[in-house]
């Protein structure tokens, strides 16, 4: 597997590992409590910690696949330039929200890192670090989507050579048709 493919699927890979680990911990907790009558004290805190990261990774997957919150019934009423304006507005709101999540998450992490998760005996900052870390990953995914939208002309600001590139593509397709017809 090359590095690019791993990076493109990092949320799915890490999310699956965390989910399976969380599930195994919860099953172990049930077995230890019911069969051995000796519950694992740390299992609930670790499951919550893993659930937090898994959930945030799921949101990042949603951003990557453009499945973030959209008001479809309103958005679908637009066409042409109105659609581009609506898309640009929505993308701007998502961008500002992600920047806010990073900033607020970092502040929250700094405030909470001095406390300790009792059973795990680690800083509670690890739980709150999920917000700035994974919001940064979401921002990377959002920028990737934004670049695709920009190149495809879905935003108010269009690439300067968009029409020229389109003309070149159509010319090459026409050239291929002519060559194919000659054969």
User: Token pair 């019911």 is at which residue?
Assistant: 34
Whether the predicted pLDDT of 127 surpasses 60: yes
Whether the predicted pLDDT of 164 surpasses 50: no
For the chain, the farthest-separated pair of C-alpha atoms sits apart, in whole angstroms, at: 82
Domain span at 19: 3-182
Tens digits of per-residue pLDDT, 143-161? 998 888 888 887 777 776 6
Q: How many domains does the chain have?
A: 1
Task: State the Cα–Cα distance between residues 120 and 108, nearest whole angstrom.
Answer: 20
pLDDT averaged over every residue in the chain:
82
49 to each of 17, 57, 101, 150, 152, how far by Cα in Å? 14, 13, 18, 37, 39
| Whether the model pTM is above 0.75 | no
Q: Which two tokens stand for residue 155?
A: 């935003």
Tens digits of per-residue pLDDT, 20-49? 999 999 999 999 999 998 889 899 999 999
């Amino acid at each position: 597997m090359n590095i690019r493919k791993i990076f493109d699927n990092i949320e799915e890979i890490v999310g699956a590992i965390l989910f399976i680990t969380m599930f195994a911990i919860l099953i172990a907790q049930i077995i230890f409590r019911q069969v051995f009558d000796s519950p694992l004290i740390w299992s609930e805190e670790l499951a919550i910690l893993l659930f937090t990261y898994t959930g945030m990774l799921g949101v990042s997957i949603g951003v990557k696949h453009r499945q973030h919150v959209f008001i479809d019934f309103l958005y679908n009423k637009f066409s042409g330039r109105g659609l581009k304006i609506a898309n640009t507005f929505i993308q701007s709101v998502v961008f500002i929200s992600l920047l806010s999540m990073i900033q607020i998450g970092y502040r929250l992490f700094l405030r909470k890192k001095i406390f300790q998760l009792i059973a795990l005996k680690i800083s509670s900052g690890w739980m709150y670090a999920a917000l700035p870390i994974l919001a940064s990953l979401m921002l990377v995914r959002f920028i990737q989507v934004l670049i695709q939208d920009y190149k495809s002309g879905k935003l108010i600001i269009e690439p300067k050579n968009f029409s020229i590139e389109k003309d070149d593509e159509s010319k090459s397709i026409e050239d291929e048709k002519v060559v194919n017809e000659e054969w």
